[in-house]
Structure 1
Amino acid sequence: MIRLAIFFIFLMSPLSQVSANEEVSQKEKNALIDLYNSTNGSQWNTTWDLEAPVDTWKGVEVKDGHVVGLKLFMNNLEGTLPESIGKLTYLTQLNLAFNSITGVLPKDIVNLKRLQELRLEMNRIKGAIPDGIGQLSELEIFSMFNNFLSGSIPESFGELKNLKELNLSSNNLKGIIPTAIGNLTQLETLGLFENSLEGNIPQEIGNLGKLKELVLANNQLGGEIPAEFGQLASLQILQLQNNKFDSFTGLKAMNADQFLVFDSDDKSLEPRFNEIHFERTRMADTKFEDEDENE
């Protein structure tokens, strides 16, 4: 009985309780410090006290001793993303949108296998999207509109079967829309506005039964609108203007009543649709999902 009493007292003592400030591994902490140093952390709107526990740093979410969230939306980050960001392998959310991040995407970003949300919109990131992006099998949101991305859209995007939002609008992307995009049966938003994409729209787009928003305006797309567009029963926003299509026949199979926003270069369709002209900034909206992001 005495031993049980001593054991009970030990369990209840402050020394035995898990600290509220559970420390992360040195590897993950170093990766965060690399980000701080490479993006001029001392000049952030809300900076980090590097001597304080990691879970007290703005925008850092820690769970079970690992960094699972990094949300530094609109926090005046200036500089490049370090390669070591790929060491935050427990990360599920990465939101560094609306900053002044430059350079290219680190190749090791494809190591973030648990990542569900990647938001880097409204920065100055250049270069190509890594071909290995398809390794991020848990990804639901990939948003990098309004950057300086170049090269083509990787075919491996088609491996991201959980993807709900893909927004690459207002970049410098070239080439075709990969047919593999048609594999993304959970996709609800596809934004490719204002790039230099060419070729035909793949008929596989018709497989995207949950698609609500399709914005392909201001590219060099041509050929005919696929007849498979008639299968997009959930589509509410469709914008195709300022391309080089030969025919819009594929649109005539669609239900005009389903649209909230519609715009194309075929003015003969106007009486059938409630047209709302496209605003360049529409696809530059972002969601204010985190209360602490505006503090």
Structure 2
Amino acid sequence: MKKILCLVLIGVLSSVAVRAEVPMDEKQALIDLYYSTNGASWKASWDLETPCNTWYGVKVVNDKIIEIDLFHNNLSGTLPMSIGKLVHLKKLNLAFNAISGKLPTGLGLLKELRVLKLEMNRFKGPLPNTIGMMAKLEELSIFNNFISGSIPETIGGLKNLKVLNLSSNNLKGTIPKSLGDLTKLESLGLFENGLDGNIPNEMGNLSKLKELVLANNQLGGEIPKEFGQLASLEIFQIQNNNFNSFKNLGMMETKGMLVFDYDKEDAQFDFKDINFSKTRMADTKFEDVED
């Protein structure tokens, strides 16, 4: 009798397991993404008649969509607002495609997201204020797009952020003071925008920062003396701006620097600990490039 009951129980559990699937609203969000970005033209497309855990670049764990990686997959069109329904998503990589339009405010609903990679697309318009709601985000990369407007103060809500790259866009205005709240930040790239005004002193709080690239903007004033607190820096590039004073550069620890670039023709300092032959122009990294 016990054996029969066990067999029945196993059968019931197996039946439940077979029926278990991704919630319909999450699956619909994927379908919306497919149609909104011309899925039929992707390099690796989806068969919408099959279970979504078999779709290219989609990772499902415990019936939850936790990852979408469609890097370099010929996506075009726009991102749907329903992207915010993917509430269990931890990684979204849509880099190196041709997606255009504005970033949907629904991105802010992705509270579990750790990695958001949208670089090398054609996004335009402002960064949504909701971007600061993704409190678990560790990497945010949107370089080489057409993002305009200012960097929202709400970006200071990304307290777990380690990598922020907004280089090569059309951003204007000042660097928000709230960037100084991102105390886990290790890499900050704002290269080649139209940012102006003074660098906020609060950026001296970024003690874990290894890479700071602010070159090719319209930043002015003097270098904050608080930059002397950035003891972990290995790459520092501020050339091609409108600074009127470089005196506080002398307060920076340069012994561990690999790259140290500023407008040397305008100011000369005796940095005995740095080999300027290693310095280079600011560039934008392409970590995802396939061999």
TM surpasses 0.5: yes
The answer on 1:284 being equivalent to 2:285 is yes
Determine the structure 2 residue equivalent to 1:144.
142
Given that 1:248 and 1:266 are in contact with CA atoms closer than 8 Å, whether structure 2 keeps it comes out as no
C-alpha separation between the residues in 2 aligned to 1:106 and 1:117?
Answer: 17
C-alpha separation between the residues in 2 aligned to 1:258 and 1:14?
Answer: 63
C-alpha separation between the residues in 2 aligned to 1:187 and 1:258?
Answer: 18
C-alpha separation between the residues in 1 aligned to 2:100 and 2:58?
Answer: 21
Residue 211 (structure 2) aligned to one of 189, 210, 213: 213
2:50 partner SS: coil
C-alpha separation between the residues in 1 aligned to 2:222 and 2:281?
Answer: 25
Determine the structure 2 residue equivalent to 1:291.
none
TM-score, normalisation: structure 2: 0.93
Q: CA deviation at 1:135?
A: 1.1
The answer on 1:73 being equivalent to 2:74 is no
Q: CA deviation at 1:13?
A: 4.4
Given that 2:107 and 2:130 are in contact with CA atoms closer than 8 Å, whether structure 1 keeps it comes out as no
C-alpha separation between the residues in 2 aligned to 1:227 and 1:209?
Answer: 14
Determine the structure 2 residue equivalent to 1:90.
88
C-alpha separation between the residues in 2 aligned to 1:78 and 1:206?
Answer: 40
C-alpha separation between the residues in 2 aligned to 1:204 and 1:127?
Answer: 27
TM-score, normalisation: structure 1: 0.92
C-alpha separation between the residues in 1 aligned to 2:16 and 2:56?
Answer: 22
Q: CA deviation at 1:274?
A: 2.2
Determine the structure 1 residue equivalent to 2:129.
131
Give the length in aligned residue pairs: 287
Alignment CA distance shift 1:20-1:61 (3 Å): farther
Determine the structure 2 residue equivalent to 1:35.
33
Identity of aligned residues (%): 56
Matching residue's letter, 2:39: G
Give 5+ residue unaligned stretches, structure 2.
none
1:137 partner SS: coil
Q: CA RMSD in A?
A: 1.9
The answer on 1:226 being equivalent to 2:236 is no
- State the Cα deviation string for residues 83-128 of structure 1 (Å, max 9, x = none): 1111111111111000000000011111111111110000000000
Determine the structure 2 residue equivalent to 1:183.
181
Determine the structure 2 residue equivalent to 1:154.
152
Given that 1:172 and 1:196 are in contact with CA atoms closer than 8 Å, whether structure 2 keeps it comes out as yes
Give 5+ residue unaligned stretches, structure 1.
289-293
C-alpha separation between the residues in 1 aligned to 2:98 and 2:217?
Answer: 26
Q: CA deviation at 1:286?
A: 2.0
